Amino acid sequence: MWRAPGSSVERSVSVVFPAYNEAEGIAAAIEDFFACPAVDEIVVVDNNSSDATPAIVAETRARLVRETRQGYGFALRRGLAEAKGDYVILAEP
């Protein structure tokens, strides 16, 4: 949860990672973002990876979503649709 200085209203924060063959660094990126207390959820949108990306994400607290339509734009739109936070951060793993 995140709260603006001087405000009593808490807002939830989601991070969306579009991912295609990101096995090498995805776990560290997820861990780094979850280390931030403001981040409530991470949605990883796997865009037809042929490496171990989905398996690695499944072992973390992040939520894995699969987008079968190939392309960065499809992955981003799917992540935005799946994110539950009041604020959504689009990031690269």
- Alpha carbon 31 to chain centroid, angstroms: 11
Assess contact for 23 and 53: CB atoms under 8 A.
yes
Mean model confidence pLDDT for the chain? 95
pLDDT at 58: 98
pLDDT at 2: 73
pLDDT at 45: 99
**Tens digit of each residue's pLDDT (9 = 90 or more) over 29-58:** 999 999 999 999 999 999 999 999 999 999
| Six token digits for residue 87 | 């604020």
Q: What letter would DSSP give residue 51?
A: S
Mean pLDDT of 12-29: 97
Statement: residue 9 has pLDDT above 90: no
Q: The tokens 């973390």 sit on which residue?
A: 60
Please state whether beta strands 41-46 and 13-19 pair in parallel, antiparallel, or not at all (unpaired). parallel
pLDDT at 92: 92
